[in-house]
Amino acid sequence: MSADLLHEADANQARASDPKASAWVSANAGTGKTEVLVKRTLRLLLDGARPESILCLTYTKTAAAEMQNRLLKELAAWATMPAAELQTKLAKLMGRPPEDQDLSGARRLFARALEARGGLKIHTIHGFCERLLQRFPLESAVTPHFTVLDDRDAALLKRSAFDTVVARAAEDRNSMLGRALDTIITVAGEEYFRQVVDTVLGKRAELDRMAAYHDGLTEWAEAEGAALKQLFGVAEDTEDALVAELASVLSDSEIDAALSAFASFGSTTDDARTEEGLRGAKGSTGEARAAALKAAFLTADGNPRARVVSAASRRTRRNLPRHWPPPEPRGRTRH
């Protein structure tokens, strides 16, 4: 059985390392992924690809170094191996018996790989990007000998930028920045806001894209607002309007119907709370009604209650829907 598994593994590796196929390989640690990559590169080189024309990208510098070392080790062995051994190796790799030029070509690969123009291109993704930027200083608008900012310096720069902007906002409270700051301080302390800014900075590419899609940040904010309103089925967004809408969610007759339904089926704590809320709402108006309905259908945090009607009651009375009425919009107020 295990021989079969090995055979299968070998076959999979062979398929994955076939340079003619584009492949996506997923495997557990230690099962030979690097091996597959090395084999694939070797086969490419044997097929006649120039070492300079192969690009390997890895995530870590360790992986890049490891890959390069394994590749060169194999090629070094080929250069000086006795002919018979080399033949077997190549046969296994190429899937066919090697010809004379294959053998001599294989022997030369070591030197060719070592002397590849610009070195073997096995880089980390970051390294590759850095090289690109260095190669095209005018297009990337970066001077050729730049250094990459490390995390600590980046944090210091961000901090200083944050302080500058915040100071400017504080200076002129009527400017756009000042008004934005006024909005922020009502809901956030400085630490939390700093974290928010950090997160936003991390996603600024996406933000730019969205803003461009909507022709601008303000337009986008408005579009988002409209979309949210639509999602929650809310027409207004002033506090009074919300309260009024909340209050009008159930009419008195509907409340009566619900109360009578509860009355006939007894109640658990869930039901009792709903009942109490409904009773409080009936006959009252405006804020009081809204508050009573809130108590009936929402938890203290403003989220919809998981169970408005207890399971037992629902079982016995089928046409009481599980979640009614529709969930409230959680407006900017504390209501």
Partner 1 sequence: MPEPRAHPRLYTIPPSAPFLSTLARAILAGDLPLAGGAKPDLLTLPQTTIYLPTRRAARALREAFLTESGGEALLLPRIHALGHADEDAALILDADTFADADGALGATAIGTLPRLMALMRLILALGDTLDAAATEAEIESIGFKSTPGQAASLATELADLMDVVESEEVDFSTLDTLVPDELAAHWQATVDFLKIITEHWPQYLEHNSLVSPVTRRNLLMAQETDRLAKGSPHPVIAAGSTGTVPATARLLETIAKLDNGAVVLPGLDFTLDDESWESLSQHPEHPQTGMAELLRKLGATRNDVRYLPGSAPDGAARRASSRERSAATGRDHGAMAALPGERRTRARRRASFANALNGISLVEAPTAHDEAEAIALILRSCSRRPGKTAALVTPDRVLARRVAARLQSFGLAIDDSAGTPISRTVPGAFLDLVLGAAETNFAPPELMALLKHPLALLGRSPGEIRTAARTLERGAFRDIYVGQGLSGISRALETAREDRTWRRSSLRQEEHDSVLGLVRDLEHAFAPLAELFASRSKHSMATLAEAHAATAERLARDTAGASASLWQGDAGEALTVLMSGLIGDGANLDMSARDYPAFYRSLLGRQVVRPRGPAHPRLFIWGPLEARLQQPDVVILGSLNEGVWPRPQEAGPWLSRPMRKTLGLSPPERRLGLSAHDFAQALGAPTVYLTRALKVDGVPTVPSRWLQRLEALVEASGLAAKIKPELPWVAWARERDSVPDFTPVDAPQPRPPVEARPRELSVTRIERWIANPYEIFARHILKLEPLKPLGTEPDAAMRGSIVHEVLHESRVRIPDALPADIYGALMTTADDLFAKLGGAARVEAFWRPHFQRFARWFAATEPTRRADITGTHTEVDGALELDSGFRLKARADRIDTTEDGGVVIYDYKTGKPPIPKHVEDLYAPQLPLEAAIAAAGGFADLGPRPVRSMVYIQASGRQDGGDERPATNAAADILAAKALEDLERLVAHFADPETPYEVKRRSAPAFVNVYRYDEYEHLARVAEWLTQEAEEDWR
Site for partner 1, rule CB under 8 A:
61-62, 65-66, 68-69, 72, 76-77, 79-83, 103-104, 107-108, 110-111, 114-115, 117-119, 131, 134-139, 141, 143-145, 163-164, 166-167, 169-171, 181-182, 185-190, 193, 334
Altogether, the residues listed in the chain come to a count of 335
Q: Is 34 annotated as a binding residue?
A: yes
Q: Shortest distance, CB of residue 172 to partner 1, whole angstroms?
A: 11
50: CB partners within 8 A, 6+ apart: 112, 116
What residue spans of 214-310 are helical by DSSP H?
217-232, 239-247, 252-265, 269-281, 286-297
Nearer to partner 1, 193 or 324 (CB): 193
Q: Is 292 annotated as a binding residue?
A: no
Q: Please state, in angstroms and rounded to a whole number, the distance separating the CA atoms of residues 71 and 296.
A: 70
Q: Is 263 annotated as a binding residue?
A: no
The radius of gyration of the chain from alpha carbons, rounded to an integer in Å, stands at 34
Nearer to partner 1, 28 or 186 (CB): 186
196: CB partners within 8 A, 6+ apart: 188
Q: Is 105 annotated as a binding residue?
A: no
- Cα 230 off chain centre by: 26
Nearer to partner 1, 111 or 228 (CB): 111
Contact 326, 231 (CB under 8 A): no
Residue 157 amino acid letter: L
Q: What angle do CA 284, 256, 276 make, to 5 degrees?
A: 60
Nearer to partner 1, 2 or 186 (CB): 186
Number of other residues whose CB lies within 10 A of the CB of residue 47: 12
- Burial (CB < 10 A; 0-12, 13-18, 19+), residue 278, is buried
Q: Shortest distance, CB of residue 242 to partner 1, whole angstroms?
A: 17
Nearer to partner 1, 27 or 111 (CB): 111
Q: Is 258 annotated as a binding residue?
A: no
Q: Is 41 annotated as a binding residue?
A: no
Q: Shortest distance, CB of residue 78 to partner 1, whole angstroms?
A: 9
Q: Shortest distance, CB of residue 83 to partner 1, whole angstroms?
A: 6
Q: Shortest distance, CB of residue 194 to partner 1, whole angstroms?
A: 10
Residue list for the binding site for ATP? 27-34
Annotated binding-site positions: 27-34
